[in-house]
Structure 1
Amino acid sequence: MKSLSQYLRQPHPEACSCSVCWSRRELANSVPSPSTVCPHCLPAEVLQVDGRWVCRPVSRCAKHTPPRRPPKYWHVVYDSGKPTPYVPIYEPFELE
């Protein structure tokens, strides 16, 4: 009987169809994301300055700055009319 250590870290064959090899091939063929930021935008950074950690927030250009409010349609909720009050029935009944 073979031990588990003999199977770990074994190289994959050339035409391997496992999910790991498939993911590697797809990532190698993929194009950069269209949502990558422009050169004027700066990502957030965490730096160590004089032994203290300093966080620099995201800096976005005017084109990529999100609006302060969501789009107008988000405040609209389906209005089904007046609410129907809940009236509990304490006595069992039978349909006739």
Structure 2
Amino acid sequence: MLPSKYLHQPHPENCDCSVCWSRRELAKPAASQSTPCTECRPTRVFTVVTTMALVAGVWRSIHSTYRVERGFTCDKHMPALRPPKYWHVVYDSGRPTPFVPVREPFELES
């Protein structure tokens, strides 16, 4: 089958190719984002004092004092210090063998 014809074919429902697998995995919600946690809390800001004044016939806030309640992230939801490793060694065959070009044909002796 020509590549141009193959690219436009629809995939079956139970297709296990890498494209369909990636779509299914990306559609799943992230476990760490959706898991409710009692330890984590977001940073919150509260207005403590607000000074209002009449500006051009409209009451507006001209000065405010805020109180910040610091957030907290538990160890489970804390992002890693380094990015995840995507590449790893699949098979380590040892030291690399140098390529030696053969200048003239030869036959193996028994």
Instruction: Tell me which of the two structures has the higher relative contact order, counting C-alpha pairs closer than 8 angstroms and 6 or more residues apart.
Output: 2
Scaled by the length of structure 1, the TM-score of the pair is: 0.32
- The structure that has the greater radius of gyration is 2
Scaled by the length of structure 2, the TM-score of the pair is: 0.29
Give the structure with the larger strand fraction.
2
